Amino acid sequence: MDPNSILISSQSGTCSHLAELCVEGERSPASQELEKDSPFPWGQASSSSLTDTNWFGDEHIQAKRARVETIVQGICLSPNPLVPGNAQARDSPCCTEKRKRKQSLPMQQGPLKPGPAWGNRKGGPGVREQFHRLKQQLRHLQQHILQTAEPRAAAQDPRGSEQGQGSLREKQRNSCESNPWATDSDRHQDSSAYLCGAEKHRVSEPEHRSEELRFLSSGTQALLEILRKELTRAVSQAVDSVLQKVLLNPPGHLTQQGRSFQRLVPEGGSEPSPPMGGTYKDLFTLATLPRRTQPQVGVPVGNLPLVKPLDSLRYPISPRISKSYQGPATNYPLAIPSHVQENQILSQLLGRGPNGHWSDNPPLDSSSQSHPSIESALQPWVWSQQPCPLPFTTVPHLESRPLLPSVKTEHNSLEAITDATPFSSEGLNPGHLKKAKLMFFFTRYPSSSLLKAYFPDVQFNRCITSQMIKWFSNFREFYYIQMEKFARQAVSDGVTNPKVLVVLRDSELFRALNMHYNKGNDFEVPDCFLEIASVTLQEFFRAVSTGRDSDPSWKKPIYKIISKLDSDIPEIFKSSRYPQEVFRS
DNA sequence: AAATCGCCTG
DNA sequence: CAGGCGATTT
C-alpha cells in the first residue's frame, strides 16, 4: 500500500544514487580509515600554526597560568572534569587496528591553542576589568545553572552508580565522561576511574554537579555540560590574557602543579600546552578538530576544513539528545576560539543559540548545557552524525529488536544516552540488516560505494564494509540456492519451456524469498525483483535441463548474467531513517 | 596486495 | 549470519 506507492515513485530517481556514489567514491579506503581515527584530518594543517605559538611553551608561564586558573576556579566554578571528548568512542569492535592507529597518529592540536588570542592580550588596561566582569558573569551563570539543575535532579532517578561490569570502557564513557583521560589510551583508565569515583563523592557539593547532571534529562545534561566547559574555558582564556599581560616573571617551580591541575580540570581545554606528551596531544587533536567544525556560531573557527564531516552528516536525524556523548568530542572548540574575545565567548555562551538547538532555550538553559564541548561544538551534527550515526538512526523501531529500544526512548532516560552512545559511531545493527535485505530486491551485487551511499548513517571502515558485503553474499547464496532448487524441481516436473517459469507473488518460490528478505512482509517487493527472479530461475532451469550443471563452474555464467541486472535503488533508501518511512504503519 | 566472490562450515 | 579459505580480478 503506502509503501508501494512510495517505492514506485521513488524508483524513478535513477541517477541520484550515482551522484552519491561519486561523492562517496572520493573517499578512498585509506582516507576513511583516517577519518575514523581522526575524523578531521585537516586539523593537522590548521593546527600547525597555532602550535607554534608558544606562549605556553614556557613552563613558567604555564605554571603561573595554572595557579591563576586554580584560583579562579575556586572563586567561580567547580572544575568539573568533563571529558574533553573521546575519540575512541568510535572504535569499532571489529577493527583493532584503529586503536593502534589512534595512538600512533601524531595529530596536532593546533586549534587548541589560542593563536589569535594574542590580539586580546594586547588589550592592556582593560584586562582587569574584563576579568572581573567575567567572574561575575560566571557566578551568575553558576547560580542559574544550579537553580535550574537542582530541581530536576531530584526528580530523576539517580543511577549514578555504575551498572554492572559491561565493557569497562563504555561505562566509563558514560559515567565518567568528565574525565578527560578516559579518552586517552587505556592506560589511563585507572585514573579515570578514580576521578569518577571522586566525583561521585562530591555530589553534594554544589559546585560539582557532574553527578547531578546525570539525573537530568539528557538534553539538559548536555546543556549543562557544555556550558560548564565553555565557561571554564572562557575563564581560562581570561586568565591567560591576564597572565600574559601581568605575569612576565616565571616562577618556575609550579610546573608540576600546573600539570596536575590540568589533569584534574579537564576543562583544560584551555590548556593549550603544546608541550604536552604525545598521547595527550593526540587526544586533543582528535577531539578537537572535529568540533570546531561546528557551529560555534559566530566563533571563528579558523580551520574550516570541517566541511568533510558535514558530508557524513548529510542525513541528520531528528535531534535527539539521545546520546550525550557520542563522539569523540572535545571541548576544545571553545577553547580555541582564541581570537575570540573572552567576552565574546561568554556572550555566546549566554545567549547563543548556536545552531538553533540552543536557540530555543533561554540563556539560562543553554547554560545548562555544559556538556562536553563535544556537543556544544557540534551540536547540530553531533546529533545527526555520531549519535545517530549508525546504529540508532537508521534503526527505526523495526518490529523487533530489543537492541535499539533505548534509542527511541531518547531523552527520557539516561539509558538512552548510555546505550546509544557507545555504538553511535559504528557497527551495523539489525535495522541495517533489514534495510540491506530489502535493498537486495533491487541489487544483488552492490558495490561498496553504493552501500556507502545508501547507509549514510554508517561509518564505513574495512570491517563494516566487509560485513555488509558479506551480507549480500549471504543473501545471494540463499537466493541462488532457492533458484537452483526450484529450477531442478521444474525439470523433474517435466517442464520443458523455460518461459513458463515465471516468478509471481503467489508462487512458492516468491514466498520463500519474501520470507527471507522481507519477513514481516512489511515491504512491497518491487516488480523488478520478480523479473530478475524469473530470469534467474529460467537460467538455472536451462543450465540444469541441458546438463550444464555437470560443469563445476556451471553457475558462473548465471551469476554473471544476474550481476548485470541490478536495478536502481529507490532514493528513499538513502535516508537513514529509511525503514520508518518505507514500512507501512 | 587488496578487494571480491563463492563455497563450505558452524 | 559470520568465519575461513581459495580463486579471481584489478
> What do you get for the CA distance between the two ends of chain A, in Å?
10
A147 CA from B9 C1′ (Å): 62
* Local structure of residue A466 (DSSP, 8 states): H
Q: Which domain holds residue A508?
A: 430-574
A275 CA from B7 C1′ (Å): 56
Outline where DSSP puts E strands in A386-544: none
User: Is residue A438 domain-resident?
Assistant: yes
> Which chain A residues 561-580 have CB under 7 A to strand B?
563
Nearest to A283 by CA among A423, A53, A84: A84
- Point out the residue nearest to C7 (C-alpha to C1'): A553
How much is the pLDDT for A304?
A: 23
A474 CA from B10 C1′ (Å): 15
| Cα distance between residue A229 and residue A325, in whole Å | 14
A557 CA from C8 C1′ (Å): 14
Question: Is there a contact between A572 and A10 (Cβ–Cβ < 8 Å)?
Answer: yes
The DSSP result for A307-368, as a single string, is HHHHHHHTS-----TT-TT-S---SHHHHSGGGS-HHHHHHHHHH--TTSTGGGS-HHHHHT
**Rounded to two decimals, what is the model's pTM?**
0.37
Angle at A268 between CA A265 and CA A271, to 5 degrees: 140
> Which chain A residues 275-314 have CB under 7 A to strand B?
none
A370: enclosing H helix or E strand: strand A370-370
A477 CA from B7 C1′ (Å): 9
Question: Is there a contact between A271 and A81 (Cβ–Cβ < 8 Å)?
Answer: no
Contacts of A491 (CB under 8 A, 6+ apart): A541, A544, A545
User: Is residue A549 domain-resident?
Assistant: yes
Give the bridge partners for A226, in sequence order. A370
User: Is residue A557 domain-resident?
Assistant: yes
| Cα distance between residue A452 and residue A461, in whole Å | 10
User: Is residue A211 domain-resident?
Assistant: no
User: Is residue A141 domain-resident?
Assistant: no
User: Is residue A508 domain-resident?
Assistant: yes
Give residue-wise pLDDT tens across range A84-119: 223 333 333 344 333 333 322 222 222 222 322 222
Q: Is the CB of A403 under 7 A from strand C?
A: no
Q: Is the CB of A465 under 7 A from strand B?
A: yes
Give residue-wise pLDDT tens across range A28-44: 333 333 333 322 222 22
How much is the pLDDT for A578?
A: 63
> Which chain A residues 466-525 have CB under 7 A to strand C?
467, 470-471, 474-475
For chain A, the domain total comes to 1
Q: Is the CB of A472 under 7 A from strand B?
A: yes
| Cα distance between residue A126 and residue A246, in whole Å | 12
User: Is residue A283 domain-resident?
Assistant: no
> Which chain A residues 230-259 have CB under 7 A to strand B?
none
A458 CA from C6 C1′ (Å): 30
For residue A540, the domain's CATH number is 1.10.10.500
How much is the pLDDT for A376?
A: 26
Q: Which residues of chain A have pLDDT under 70?
A: 1-426, 576-585
Which nucleotides of strand B lie under 7 Å from a protein CB? 2-8
**Nearest nucleotide, C1' to the C-alpha of A462?**
B3
User: Is residue A436 domain-resident?
Assistant: yes
A473 CA from B4 C1′ (Å): 10
How much is the pLDDT for A427?
A: 84
Which nucleotides of strand C lie under 7 Å from a protein CB? 1-3
